[in-house]
Chain A
């Protein structure tokens, strides 16, 4: 921890918060202990199988199907949550109606609810004999619970607050002036939305999408109730990890974990690059 002052004596003089060395040292220590060392273990563990074993473990059809399902459903849920979250934020920021405060608070409920409770509630609602599941099955022949569609619904539920809450402050800051200025310049309402409001919100929407995706891809509690967990059809990757752990196949579990880590990192990196491109001023 004494490396701090030697590292950067100038920073120590300029910063308003005292104790650069101590603060930096503690930060590094906790970052290592909580994030870096466990991740390193996750990186190293699967290689006990050897490269061939690792590849064979991931190429198993059941594993590949679960990874496809987990990432596909999470991306779809985040993509649905972005416009829905924008709509919710719009209602809370721009509209005045009785019960607005209640709606505002309700947006955060998925944050607070144990995810297993959410999963049970959604399953009860959407099961073939549930309030919503029965009419959906009777009128459209749709089955939502115990199918991948049910997984998307559960993931949407947990991802929605992230998009709504990241867009909300930006929308609040945007103010009406920018929209009115566009209107006086002859832009129609649709054009104002497309050329003024959406570009202003795009970085926040992208962040919300990323957060929602990150939350959804690792979601476990709410999904396992509604998914039905049929191998190859509705079995998500986190569940498969749990199954492998229960079979004492630690290296195999870590192999799926490693694949998830790399895929998730890839998606988030892409989002980050897109965000940079937006900031540089893509009209």
Chain B
């Protein structure tokens, strides 16, 4: 089994080039995720969290600063760093299996990975739906298929860009539990972008609270509560209040 990678983000700032003017989205982001860490990036929507994931995925180079995986700078996309997007982004003309095997297929190692593909499908509970097309799946199943497609590549860093954001609340609860047990088994380094405080606290070891755009790290909170976690755990509730206060949303209790 492949273990997680160490991710170093060093003084990363990033700006979008809009019509003749730069719009800063990330400002001096600095953190290190140790191998196998589950880090949540929490912040108001539109603050630049997803942009940070795009930089780690290698879809864009940062305007300033450095991103390193196990000490090696990121220069482009790599299947060992896979994103699961908010939309499942499945390819509609391929079956669930066809989607899952795209990575190995593109690298020409389909035959060597056949068992791996079946294992990933059964890991997310879709073995019975391997021949189904995306339009035949429910929202939760589509996200599972997208997860299987990412897992097939044995990612060392798995990025989750609000992957549960569009699911109904029951499916969401089930998927949160599944994500944790998956991460415990596979030991990849996980980066979760979310604006749901409870979700961040349930899943992550560490919550980085980001400010409004341009995003800076306002707090780095360790979550020591042992798993399985309950959302009404006293420690988590206290952390939740703390984070909401940081975001300027504290309840006047």
Contacts and interface: CB of A to CB of B under 8 A. Distances in A.
Interface of A: 177-178, 180-188, 191, 195-196, 199-200, 278, 281-283
A61 B140 CA distance: 64
Contact of A281 (B59, B83, B94): B94
B93 A185 contact: no
B191 to A, nearest CB: 13
CB-based closest 7 A-B pairs: A186-B79, A187-B106, A185-B103, A181-B89, A183-B77, A191-B106, A177-B89
Given A183-B59, A281-B133, A188 B106 contact: yes
Given A177-B87, A177-B89, A184 B98 contact: no
Nearest to B58: A184
Contacts of B92: 200
Nearest to A181: B89
A185 B82 contact: yes
Contacts of A195: 102, 105-106
A184 B79 CA distance: 6
A281 B135 CA distance: 11
A185 B79 contact: yes
15 contacts: A178-B91, A180-B59, A181-B83, A182-B102, A185-B79, A185-B82, A185-B106, A186-B106, A187-B103, A195-B105, A195-B106, A199-B93, A281-B95, A281-B133, A283-B93
Given A177-B85, A186-B107, A186-B153, A199 B91 contact: yes
Interface residues of B, number: 27
Given A180-B59, A182-B106, A191-B106, A200 B91 contact: yes
B6 interface: no
Given A184-B59, A187-B106, A196 B77 contact: no
Contact of B77 (A186, A200, A283): A186
B4 to A, nearest CB: 17
A184 B94 contact: no
B102 A184 contact: no
Contacts of A182: 102, 106
A183 B171 CA distance: 28
A177 B89 CA distance: 7
A177 B82 CA distance: 13
B93 A282 contact: yes
B57 interface: yes
A209 B179 CA distance: 46
A184 B82 contact: yes
A185 B158 CA distance: 11
A193 to B, nearest CB: 12
A187 B77 CA distance: 9
A185 B89 contact: no
Best-buried of A180, A184, A187 by chain B (most CB within 10 Å)? A184
B179 to A, nearest CB: 18
Contacts of B78: 186
Interface string B64-102: 000000000000011101110101010111110010001
